[in-house]
């Protein structure tokens, strides 16, 4: 087979989600627009070599229409390590979540609210709307102009931390394709997040310098009641956070050229002790526990990662879908897998 381009191919390819029941999890994600794809298995010895988990593993990759990024990898461990993030709020040290575009944010909220009223576990937040896009509130003219806004609703479940988002009156035509036939009317993962509490946002430089993501921009958020980012992170007056986005190298800077698979990194600054769940956001746990990328030359990337500040770099071996792969911990402490992309 001919290799694709040697470096990073696309953005985040799939999200590893530890699950207790593969069929039940696949049914949930079908409501989000996903369908079953390839299935695979690793014996405990090989799973320990690739993921550091001494347990046999069964996986299903869930596909979403024609998407090549923001997919879901269901991972059923015979001996799971622990419960995972368990609906950890956005600000949690070690948090991961995925954001999916919808054309009807109220629809997603209603699903979550009825689920809650039926007595099921969910961390439901929002909908929250951001009207202060680019901080130009004073320039807006209600009842005269067409107004743009973004909106989010958090639907955090014990094994799935997902956000439904809408973009109102500004176009992002390539940023996720909504599956209108699914009950939640969601796209594939447009951006996937990770959070650490600390001071040094330079810990994320690795994703550009070594992996090859395209750095898009950085936003610094202070406490401001009524401002969506501040409210969703439940900031207090002495707290702030910064966000830096890393894109598919083929993505453009204009919103019309944004592509799914973005990595969105947050550093939370607070005098309060961190709610540290980083160890629970790793392979072997239930819930969101792995991100993957694809590269054309896996050996070259393995050398780059080995020579970097990453740790726990494994050798190259076959993953559960028979693709050459290796895993590592990035400098921020999150586990990733790199997969050979062959065409």
Annotated domain spans of the chain: 96-269
Q: Is the pTM of this model over 0.75?
A: yes
Tell me what the pLDDT averaged over the chain comes to.
94
Distance in angstroms (rounded) separating the CA atoms of residues 343 and 341: 7
Helical ranges in the chain per DSSP H? 22-30, 44-51, 105-117, 206, 228-232, 298-306
For residue range 215-249, list pLDDT tens digits in order: 998 999 999 998 888 999 999 999 999 999 999 99
The CATH fold assigned to 96-269 is 2,3-Dihydroxybiphenyl 1,2-Dioxygenase; domain 1 (3.10.180)
Q: Using the predicted structure, report yes or no on whether residue 186 has a pLDDT greater than 50.
A: yes
Under 8 Å between Cβ of 163 and 100: yes
Which of 126-130, 164-168, 190-194 has the lowest average pLDDT? 126-130
Contacts of residue 166, defined as CB under 8 A and 6 or more positions apart, other chains included, come to 101, 102, 103, 104, 105, 150, 151, 152
Distance in angstroms (rounded) separating the CA atoms of residues 130 and 147: 11
For residue range 241-271, list pLDDT tens digits in order: 999 999 999 999 998 999 999 999 999 999 9
Specify which residues 59 forms β-bridges with. Answer: 40, 75
Q: C-alpha angle 122/278/154, rounded to 5°?
A: 25
Q: Using the predicted structure, report yes or no on whether residue 27 has a pLDDT greater than 90.
A: yes
Q: Using the predicted structure, report yes or no on whether residue 2 has a pLDDT greater than 50.
A: no
Residue 208 has a CB neighbour count (10 Å cut-off) of 17
Which of 51-55, 63-67, 140-144, 197-201 has the lowest average pLDDT? 140-144
Q: Using the predicted structure, report yes or no on whether residue 139 has a pLDDT greater than 50.
A: yes
């Amino acid at each position: 087979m001919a290799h694709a381009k040697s470096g990073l191919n696309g953005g985040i390819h799939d999200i590893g989600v530890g699950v207790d029941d593969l069929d039940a999890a696949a049914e949930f994600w079908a409501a989000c627009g996903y369908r079953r794809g390839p299935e695979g298995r690793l014996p405990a010895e090989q799973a320990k070599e690739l993921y550091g988990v001494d347990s046999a593993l069964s996986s299903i990759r869930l596909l979403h229409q024609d998407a090549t990024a923001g997919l879901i990898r269901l991972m059923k461990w015979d001996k799971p390590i622990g419960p995972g993030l368990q609906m950890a709020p956005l600000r949690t040290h070690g948090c991961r979540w995925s954001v999916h575009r919808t054309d009807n944010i109220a629809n997603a909220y209603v699903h979550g609210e009825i689920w809650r009223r039926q007595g099921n576990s969910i961390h439901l937040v929002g909908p929250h709307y951001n009207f202060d896009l680019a901080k130009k509130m004073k320039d807006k003219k209600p009842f005269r102009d067409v107004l743009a806004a973004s909106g989010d609703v958090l639907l955090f479940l014990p094994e799935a931390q997902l956000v439904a988002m809408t973009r109102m009156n500004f176009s992002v035509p390539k940023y996720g394709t909504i599956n209108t036939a699914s009950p939640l009317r969601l796209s594939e993962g447009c951006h996937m997040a990770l959070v650490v509490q600390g001071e040094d946002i330079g810990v994320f430089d690795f994703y550009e310098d070594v992996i090859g993501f395209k750095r898009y921009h950085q936003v610094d958020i202070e406490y401001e009641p009524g401002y969506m980012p501040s409210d969703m992170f439940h900031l207090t007056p002495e707290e702030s956070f910064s966000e830096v986005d890393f894109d598919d190298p083929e993505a453009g800077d204009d919103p019309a050229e944004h592509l799914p698979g973005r990595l969105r990194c947050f550093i939370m600054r607070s005098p309060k002790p961190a709610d540290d769940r980083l160890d629970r956001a790793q392979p072997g746990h239930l819930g969101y526990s792995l991100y993957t990328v694809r590269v054309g030359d896996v050996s070259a990337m393995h050398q780059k990662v080995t020579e970097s500040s990453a740790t726990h770099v494994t050798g190259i071996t076959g993953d559960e879908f028979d693709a050459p792969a290796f895993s590592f911990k990035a400098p921020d402490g999150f586990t990733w897998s790199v997969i050979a992309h062959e065409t």
